[in-house]
Amino acid sequence: MNLNLIQLIQMILHQLWSLAKGAFTCVKAFYISNVKGQKTNIPLMSERLSMCAVCPIREEDKCGECGCYLKEKASLTDPEEGSVCPMGFWENKDSFKTYIEINGK
């Protein structure tokens, strides 16, 4: 096999794996927040979503890092179930404030 073809196949497999992980995380977040009913309080969820609104990795209504829908992710209560911001903004509000100061958003 040609080396370029092998690299192309590896790249495609890596992208498929990333998509699969993101899809699993998203389904898991949806299940936890809608089926198990483990939701955070509304003010905390609103605070999280306001941070997501200016996040550099946000992709419309999804987290660009894990692929979760932001509304579902922000509503979760348990960090082990996915209620953690990949940028660390939810857990460390100072890092969020610093990001806003530097980037002017």
Question: In sequence order, what are the residues at sequence separation of 6 or more whose Cβ sits closer than 8 angstroms to the Cβ of residue 100?
Answer: 54
Cα 49 to Cα 17: distance, rounded to the nearest angstrom? 27
Q: How many CB atoms lie within 10 A of CB 64?
A: 14
pLDDT at 43: 86
Confidence (pLDDT) at 98: 80
Pairwise CA distance, residues 11 & 52, whole Å: 29
pLDDT classification of 30: cutoffs 50, 70, 90: low
Check if the beta carbon of residue 43 is closer than 8 Å to that of residue 5. no
User: What is the model's pLDDT at position 39?
Assistant: 64
Higher pLDDT, 18 or 104: 18
Phi and psi at residue 59, to the nearest 5° = -125, 90
State yes or no: pLDDT of 86 exceeds 80: yes
The highest-confidence range among 22-31, 35-44, 53-62, by mean pLDDT, is 53-62
Give pTM, 2 decimals: 0.59
Domain boundaries, the chain: 3-103
Helix spans in 35-92 (H):
42-52, 70-75
